[in-house]
Structure 1
Amino acid sequence: MIERSKVSLAIIKYLALDEAGRMLDMGFEPQIRKIVEHLDMPPCGPRQTMLFSATFPTEIQWMTSDFLHNYIFLPVERRVYT
């Protein structure tokens, strides 16, 4: 739809990708990179980008920093109290 110019991303202010780490781990980096960098989506800065994932291996974290402005990694852990 985007490539056929049926949908525009020109006024996107917030981009949230759930399970982004998994998508990148499965090889979807070229598709994500194309949407974020090459189509009519605003660049990092004017656009707030948030990537969420249950797992974020270190090599995937380095890759995601390409899509983000002022990259911050915030791990959330579940603690079990006995």
Structure 2
Amino acid sequence: MNRLADIFPNSSHVHFHNLTEAEDSEIWEFAKAQNFCIVTQDPDFAERSRLYGAPPKVIWLRCGNGPTSSVEAIFRSGVETIQ
């Protein structure tokens, strides 16, 4: 999370909210209540977004399990679109 703090200062992770083992529905409701966007590689959240709409918004990463630096580069190159 620190790597993107300059462009997404209010970013967080499920780990910091004791949601690591939570069901998708719990994470969804938490993100909705806290006005978070969900960033995931899990297609289940994209499907949930299609069914229920926003909020929360969902960014579905479909870039595979690459290095963190690659994911960071994707976010940096798309920051204007994301915001």
**Scaled by the length of structure 1, what TM-score is found?**
0.26
Report the TM-score, using the length of structure 2 for normalisation.
0.26
Higher-strand-fraction structure: 1
* More helix by percentage: 2
Larger radius of gyration: 1
